[in-house]
Structure 1
Amino acid sequence: MESFLTRYLHGNTTQVHVRGSSFGPDDSPSRKHVGNTPPWLQKALERIIIRVPFPGAKETQLIQSLELTGIKIDFSIKGDPLISADAVAMLKKPEEMQFHMDVTQIEPHVFLYLDQSSEKPFATVQPNQPCPATTEEGNGIDLPLQTMRVKSKLVRAPFKVLPGGQKDFEAFLNRVFYGKKSKIYIRGTSDATVDSDFGHLNIKDLEFNGEIETKGLRGMQHPPPQINSITITKGHIDALQVQTELSIHSPADVDVNLGELNMALLYEGHVIGNTSIPELKLSPGLSNKLLVSAWLFGDNDYVTDFIGNYISKGTNLSDNNVTLTISGQHSNATRSVFLKEFLKHINFNVQAPPFDKEPLLADCQMYILSSTVIMSLRNPFNDIEMAINKINASATYEEYEVGTINANFEDRGEGWKNGPMKLPPPSCDNSEKHCTGVVVNSEKIPIATKKLGYEAIKKALGGSIDVSVASEVSVMIDKFKLNNLRYHQSNITAKVRKGF
C-alpha cells in the first residue's frame, strides 16, 4: 500500500490486479453464500485475475509550500553548523483523494539556493531523524477543504555546505549580517509518515519548494553595540587584562550563535590588543549582554593613548568619543572553518562609556615661599596595585599657566625619599559595591611658576583655586608599565598656602 500510494501521489500509473471474490456485495458477512450470486459463479470469479492500470494523481504537488520560521543557526560546535526552526507545510490533496490523512512525522531534505535563478544549491539541511508533526485538516472555514496544515520542528539539523558552495554560503552570511532583509530559496523532498484509513503508511520523496525571508542584523550598527563597563583586572608584564560587558541589540529575527571568537581590538585604526568572546550569541529583538575579556599589548603607544584619553576627566579629550573597533582580522578568530573567511571582513565599532570612577588626582596644595606642591592621588581601580614612577605636568588657571612640575620618583639622585608613589586599591565594603579611593600625598615637588599664573595664585593665598592639569606620567599597574601616559583633568582644587 505504501508503494502504491507513493506512486499515486507522484502521478505515476500503477498496474493493479483485480481478482474475483467468493463474497458478493449482497452476501451477509456472517453467512457465506447467502445472496443473489450463485455459488458456481462465485467459484468462477475467484479464478479470474484482471490487470488494470490505476492512473496517478492529476495534482502531484502535494506539498504546496514549506515555510521555516524561528530559525536558529549554531556555529558554536566543531564541524557542521546546526539549524533549528519551526516548519509549516501546506498540503493539498488530489480531488479524488477523499480519505482522512494524519501526518505524524516528516523527514525533509532541504536544498538552499542563494537566488531564485541559482542552478546549484550551496547547502543542504537534513535532520538526523524524522521530526514529529501535527496535522490540521481543512474545515472550509479558516482552512480550505482538501488542504492540510502540517506543523513540525527541525531540532539541531546539520547544515552542510556543498562542494563549490562556499562562495554562495559567505554571500548568504553577508545578507544575514549586513542586510535589513534577506531572502533565500529552498527546494527538496520529504518523506512522511501518515496515519490513514488504509493504515500506518510511509510516503517517500514528496517534492516541495519555497523561500525564506528574514530580517538581517544590519551590520550590528542600527543600533550599534555598546560597552556597558570597562574594568582593568590585572597587569601582566607584557599585557594589561581588561574585562568589559558588551550589549548588542539584534534587529534580526534569526537566532545566531557564532560560538567562541578571538577578535582583534583596534584604536584609531591600530591594533592595541585582542578580545576573547566566550560565545557570541545573538537572540532576536533583545539587547544581548556579552562578557568580553581583552588583553592590551605592552610597549604600544596606541594602548597608552587609549587609556589616557579614556580615564582623563573633564577635558575635550574625554568627551565620550573614545571609540574602539572589534575586528575579525585574526587568522584564528574562530574554530569554525565555515566562518574564517567571513569573519576576516567583519568590523564593528564600540564607544567606550564615560569613565565613572574617582579621578586619579584628588587635589593638591601649593606653597608660595618654597615654590612646591603636594599632589594628592588615588588609585581608581579595584583589586590592582598602582605606582606613579614619573610625572611631568603643567597647571592652568583660566587661560593662565600657573606652573610646571617634573619629578622622577625612581631617581634617588633627585632627592626623593620614598621612591615611586604607591597607590593601594580603593577601600571597599564587604559587598564590594561601595568603594572609596585611598588618597596618598606625594612628597613636596618643586614647581616652576609663570608670572601671570603666579599673580592668580597670590590672590588665592589662604584659600583655593580650581586648576586644570595636563600631565604625562609613567605608571605601573601591577607588573604592567605605561610610559608617557597623557592624563588630563579639569576642576582640581588647589589649596594655596604661604609657608614652606
Structure 2
Amino acid sequence: MSDSETTPFLAALSSPKAADPDARVMDEQSESTPLLSSSATRRYDGENDDVRDETASVAAGETDAVSVKSTKDRSIPKPSLIAVIVLSLFALGIMIGAFFVPAAVEEYAKQAIVLEPTNLSLVSITTNGVRARIQANFRLDAQRVENEHVRRVGKTATWLVGSIGTEDTRINVYLPDYDNILLGSAAVPSMDVSIANGQNNAVDFVADLIPGDAEGIRTIANEWLEGRLDTVRVLGKADIQLRAGMIPLGTHSIAESLTLEGHDMPQLPAYNITKLNFKEIPVLERSTSHAERWAMGVEVTIKAFNEYPISVDIPELGFEILVPGCGTNDAPIVIASAITHRTSVKSRSEVAVDADGVVDKLPEPLTRACPNSNSSPLDLLFAKFLGNETTTVLVRGRQKPGGDTPAWLADVLSSITVPVPFPGRSFENMIRDFSLTDVHFKMPDPAAEPDDPESNPRVSGTIRVIAGLPAEMNFSLNVTNVRANADVFYKKDKLGELNLKEWQQANSTQFPATDGGEATLKIQSRIVDAPLNVTDADVMTDVIAALLFGGKGVELDINALVDVQVQTVLGGIVVKGVPAEGKIPVKPLGKNLPGLAEPKVGNIEILDTTPDSISLRALVNITNPTPYTAHIPFISIRFEKNGTTLGEAQAENLDLGLGNNTNIPVFARWNPILGGKKDGPKVGRELISQYLSGYNTTITIRTHAGTIPSLPSLGASLSRLNFTLDAPKLSLPGKSEDDKTHFIRDATFHLWSSTAQFTLVSPLKKNMLYIEHVNATALYNHTEVIGTIVYDLPFAAPPGESKTPRLPVAWDLDSVGYDKVEEALGGRMKLDARAVVGVRLGRWREKVWYWGRGIGAAVRL
C-alpha cells in the first residue's frame, strides 16, 4: 500500500475506475486530497476561478489521499449496483464540499463560529494538573460572514454534512515568541456538534488541564503582572480525528495561532481588604509543644468580585510575603509566611479569601540601612504606609507549602511573584490629646551668630500624648524613645520649628478598648533643650500679645514627623516618619504680667557715672506668675516715659523659677539722651522727682533689636508691644513698710537757733550721694507755711541712714503753721516739705524737686 492510501472512509469499496488500469494509475497519482483542509492562512476572495485554481492547487499538494484498490472483475447484483450508485453520489457530495471548496468552508467557519463560555469550574486538583468542567454554547451564525459567496458555500457544505464529531483529543499550547515553550495541554473528550446554520450546541465536558513548562509560565506571568506584556501570541496544536456521523473523516493536524492584545487579557480584579488584624501568637517548639516564644500573627480577609464565568474550589495554599529591598536590582526580602483558607470561587459573584500570616522575626536585611542612606527597607515601607500612600508588597507561592497542595501547583506558584498594592493609612486623627507641661525656656547664647543653630531658644518640658491605636493593632507595644521634627503654627501661620534630633527617652502605657471604644496609648517623654527655631518673629509677637493681653491661653498647632523606638514581640523596631498632629495649649501669662511680677529694687551699687548717665547694679526681687520657668543668658530691655527712652536694663544668666525670685542681679544705665530726643533730660528729671516724692510713677519697658542679640528680628518684632508697669519700689531700711518708702525719715526743729536737722536714708549701699544745695519750704497741713530753708553748702548722704547738718530756717512768724510749731514744743508733729535739691553722684549732677508728706518732726528749743 502506498503512503497516500490512508483515508479509510472509501477504502472497502470498488469504483468504475478500479477496473481500469489507467484509471488506477491516475488514482494513485492525482486522487490525493484531505477531507478537511488544515491551512490556517488561506483566504477566499469571492472569485469562482480563483476558488477553482486554489482548490486544485491544494488538491495537488496534499499528502493524505484516498486510494481505491481494484479487485478482480465480477458481476454486480442490481441491489448492490443501486447501493454503489447512492454511495457514490454521497461520496461525490462529500468531495465537492470537502475537496473542491475547503478554503471557502474554512473561511466560513472562522467567521461564522460563535463560542460563548458559560461556566468554567474546577472539578478537582490532581497530582498532574486540574480537572475542569467546561460549559459553553457553540453555533455557526452565517450572518457574521461578510462575503456573500463564502456564506453561500459554507451554508451549503455544513447543511450537507449536518454534524461533525471528534474523538478524544489532546491540545498543546505553545508560546512561539518564547522559544516555543509549552504553556500547557488539555485532554478534551469526544463530542458531537451540529454545524447547521443557527443550530445551538450546549457543550458540557470535563477536561484534564496539565501545566507545561514552569519557567515559561513564570516568565509570561511576571511580564503580565509587571505591565510589560503588550501582546502575547499563543499557538495551539492538535491532531483531531473527525467523523461525520459514523463515517470517519481521518486525522487532521491543526495549528492555530492567536495574538492577544494587552487590553484583551484578563486583569487582576479590584479588591478590598475588609479585615486586617495584627496580634501576638505563640510559637510552639516541636521538642516541647510549648510556647517558648511569641511571634506576630496577621489575619487578613480580601474581597473581590469575580466577573468571569469561572468557578473553582481553591485548597489551602502557602505563600511568602516579600517587600522590596533598597534598590530595584536588590532581591526582595521575605518577611512573613501565609496560608490561605479553602476558598470557593463562584462565577460572577463576590469572593472572600481568608489568610493567616506569621512574622516570625525581622530579617537583618530589612532593618539594615541602605547604602548611602540612613533609611532601611523597613523605614521606606513604613514611610509610605504611615504617609497614607499605597505601598507594594510581593506575594509568592511557597516552594514547599505542605498539606495537600500538589507539587506541580507549588512549582507554578513559587515561580510567580504578584505585586499587591497595599493601601496606606491616614493618621490625621491619631493624636487624641497633646500637652506640654513643666515647660522651661532657655534663651540662646548672646555670643551666637544669628544664623548659628546655637542662636535658637531652647525648650524643655514633659510631653504627654494620648494616641488612638488603630483597630488592627491588637498586640502590646512599648515606646522607649522618641525624636521629632515639628512645625509649630499659630492660627495657621507658621511660628517656628521644634527640632528634636537626639533621641529623647520615653515610656508608654497601653489601655485596651472598652465598651466599644478604641484602644489608646499614653506616651510620656521629657524633652531637654529642644531648639525652637522662630521662623516668623511677627507670629511670635502675636502669640505673646495674645497671652499677655488676651486674657486667655492660646493653642499652638503641631505638625510633626516622629521617629519612635518601639519594643514588640519581634524585638526593637524603629518606626520613622510617623505623621503626628496635635495642639499645645499655652496658659495665659496674665493681662498685667509686669505688674504681677511686682519688681522690687534693693542693694543699688553705682558702677560708673558720666555727666549724663549713671551705670548701676541692683538686686531685684520679682514674682513669676506664669507656669513656665526660663533660663536667660542675656537680655536687654529699654525703659521709657511717654515715648522717650531714658535708659536700659540688662540681665545675664538669669534663672526664673516659679513664684518668687529674689536677689536677681540687674545692670541698668540711666541715660536720658540714649533715645536721641532733646527733651530726654527734662523727662528724666521729672520722672526722678516724682519717684523720689513717692508719686505712683510708671515706666514703659520695650524690647529692641539687641534684646536677644542672636535673635534681632524677634526683639525688633516684640518692640511693637509695650509693657507699662509701676516703677520698682526701693527697699529702704526701716521698721515699717511706710518707713521703707521715705527718703526723709525724720526731722528735728530747733526754735532758738532757727535750724532744722533731717534724717536721710540712702538706697545706695556703697556709694556716697552729695546734696549740693537745698531750697525747701516746710508746710503744715499741706498749705500753711512754717518756714523756708536755703542752703548752698554741699553735704554728703552716706549709704544707709544719716543726718544732715543743721540747716538754717527762716520762720514765717505770722503764719498759722509757726503757731502749730510752738504748740508742739517738746513734742512731735507732722509736716510736709517741698524742695528743689541739687544732687551729685560721681560726675553726674541733677536738679530735682521733692515733695515729702507726713514727715515726723520733733520740736526742740
TM bracket (short chain): 0.7 to 0.9
- In structure 2, the partner of 1:471 is 835
Would the aligned equivalents of 1:111 and 1:121 in 2 still touch at CA under 8 Å? yes
Amino acid at match of 2:505: P
Would the aligned equivalents of 1:305 and 1:486 in 2 still touch at CA under 8 Å? no
In the TM superposition, residue 137 of structure 1 has moved relative to its aligned partner by 2.6
SS in 2 for 1:356: helix
Q: Which moved more, 1:232-241 or 1:452-461?
A: 452-461
In the TM superposition, residue 404 of structure 1 has moved relative to its aligned partner by 1.7
In the TM superposition, residue 88 of structure 1 has moved relative to its aligned partner by 3.5
- In structure 1, the partner of 2:107 is none
In the TM superposition, residue 144 of structure 1 has moved relative to its aligned partner by 5.8
Change (3 A) 1:453 1:210: same
Q: Does 1:198 align with 2:198?
A: no
Q: Does 1:229 align with 2:605?
A: no
- In structure 2, the partner of 1:130 is 503
Separation (CA, whole Å) in 2 of partners of 1:4 and 1:64:
19
- In structure 2, the partner of 1:315 is none
Separation (CA, whole Å) in 2 of partners of 1:104 and 1:145:
22
- In structure 2, the partner of 1:343 is 718
Q: Does 1:481 align with 2:806?
A: no
Q: State how 1:74-473 maps to structure 2 within 5 Å.
A: 74-77=442-445, 78=448, 79-115=455-491, 118=492, 121-140=494-513, 146-162=519-535, 165-179=536-550, 180-221=552-593, 224-234=596-606, 236-238=609-611, 239-240=613-614, 241=616, 243-251=618-626, 253-255=627-629, 259-267=633-641, 270-278=644-652, 283=657, 286-289=659-662, 290-297=664-671, 300-312=681-693, 318=694, 321-328=696-703, 330-335=704-709, 336-344=711-719, 345-353=721-729, 356=740, 359-360=743-744, 362-368=746-752, 372-381=754-763, 382-398=765-781, 399-409=783-793, 420-426=794-800, 437-442=801-806, 445=808, 447=810, 449-453=812-816, 456=819, 459-460=822-823, 463=826, 466=829, 467-473=831-837
Separation (CA, whole Å) in 2 of partners of 1:233 and 1:173:
33
Separation (CA, whole Å) in 1 of partners of 2:381 and 2:758:
92
Would the aligned equivalents of 2:650 and 2:667 in 1 still touch at CA under 8 Å? yes
Amino acid at match of 2:543: F
Q: Which moved more, 1:139-148 or 1:377-386?
A: 139-148
Separation (CA, whole Å) in 2 of partners of 1:143 and 1:24:
39
Question: Deviation per CA, 1:135-157, whole angstroms, max 9, x where unpaired?
Answer: 32333459966543333333222
Separation (CA, whole Å) in 1 of partners of 2:832 and 2:597:
33
In the TM superposition, residue 64 of structure 1 has moved relative to its aligned partner by 0.3
Question: Deviation per CA, 1:18-67, whole angstroms, max 9, x where unpaired?
Answer: 34344746xxxxxxxxxx899xx499759933323445357442870161
In the TM superposition, residue 247 of structure 1 has moved relative to its aligned partner by 1.7
In the TM superposition, residue 248 of structure 1 has moved relative to its aligned partner by 3.5
Amino acid at match of 2:444: S
- In structure 2, the partner of 1:433 is none
Post-superposition, which runs of at least 4 consecutive aligned residues in structure 1 deviate over 6 A?
none
Question: Deviation per CA, 1:220-268, whole angstroms, max 9, x where unpaired?
Answer: 44863312234442273443435252424324x4445565222222346
Would the aligned equivalents of 1:310 and 1:352 in 2 still touch at CA under 8 Å? no
SS in 2 for 1:127: strand
Q: Percent identity?
A: 16
Change (3 A) 1:480 1:100: same
Q: Does 1:20 align with 2:398?
A: yes
In the TM superposition, residue 356 of structure 1 has moved relative to its aligned partner by 0.5
Would the aligned equivalents of 2:395 and 2:420 in 1 still touch at CA under 8 Å? no
Amino acid at match of 2:555: K
Would the aligned equivalents of 1:274 and 1:295 in 2 still touch at CA under 8 Å? yes
Unaligned runs of 5+ in 1: 26-35, 313-317, 410-419, 427-436
Would the aligned equivalents of 2:485 and 2:498 in 1 still touch at CA under 8 Å? yes
SS in 2 for 1:342: helix
Separation (CA, whole Å) in 2 of partners of 1:225 and 1:458:
44
Separation (CA, whole Å) in 1 of partners of 2:691 and 2:572:
69
- In structure 2, the partner of 1:64 is 430
Change (3 A) 1:183 1:424: closer
- In structure 2, the partner of 1:49 is 415
* Aligned residue pair count: 448
Separation (CA, whole Å) in 2 of partners of 1:90 and 1:458:
77
Amino acid at match of 1:387: Y
Would the aligned equivalents of 2:541 and 2:718 in 1 still touch at CA under 8 Å? no
In the TM superposition, residue 182 of structure 1 has moved relative to its aligned partner by 0.6
Would the aligned equivalents of 1:8 and 1:14 in 2 still touch at CA under 8 Å? no
Separation (CA, whole Å) in 2 of partners of 1:464 and 1:390:
29
Would the aligned equivalents of 2:776 and 2:836 in 1 still touch at CA under 8 Å? yes
In the TM superposition, residue 492 of structure 1 has moved relative to its aligned partner by 3.9
Change (3 A) 1:494 1:145: closer
Q: Which moved more, 1:194-203 or 1:140-149?
A: 140-149
SS in 2 for 1:384: coil
Separation (CA, whole Å) in 1 of partners of 2:383 and 2:787:
94
SS in 2 for 1:383: coil
Change (3 A) 1:176 1:260: farther
Would the aligned equivalents of 2:637 and 2:707 in 1 still touch at CA under 8 Å? yes
Separation (CA, whole Å) in 2 of partners of 1:365 and 1:259:
52
Change (3 A) 1:154 1:462: closer
SS in 1 for 2:539: helix
Q: Does 1:490 align with 2:854?
A: yes
SS in 1 for 2:599: strand
SS in 1 for 2:502: coil
Unaligned runs of 5+ in 2: 1-365, 367-377, 449-454, 673-679, 730-737
In the TM superposition, residue 406 of structure 1 has moved relative to its aligned partner by 1.8
Separation (CA, whole Å) in 1 of partners of 2:825 and 2:625:
58
Q: Which moved more, 1:344-353 or 1:356-365?
A: 356-365
Amino acid at match of 2:396: V
Amino acid at match of 1:294: A
Would the aligned equivalents of 1:64 and 1:89 in 2 still touch at CA under 8 Å? no
Separation (CA, whole Å) in 2 of partners of 1:133 and 1:458:
77
Would the aligned equivalents of 1:8 and 1:55 in 2 still touch at CA under 8 Å? no
Which structure exhibits the higher relative contact order, with contacts defined as CA atoms closer than 8 Å and separated by 6 or more residues?
1
Q: Using structure 2 for the length normalisation, give the TM-score.
A: 0.46
Would the aligned equivalents of 2:498 and 2:532 in 1 still touch at CA under 8 Å? yes
Amino acid at match of 2:434: E
Would the aligned equivalents of 2:554 and 2:585 in 1 still touch at CA under 8 Å? yes
Amino acid at match of 1:52: V
Separation (CA, whole Å) in 2 of partners of 1:242 and 1:142:
65
Change (3 A) 1:487 1:56: same
Separation (CA, whole Å) in 1 of partners of 2:641 and 2:583:
41
Separation (CA, whole Å) in 1 of partners of 2:785 and 2:542:
59
Separation (CA, whole Å) in 1 of partners of 2:527 and 2:469:
24
Separation (CA, whole Å) in 2 of partners of 1:271 and 1:37:
91
Change (3 A) 1:215 1:385: same
RMSD value over aligned CA atoms? 3.8
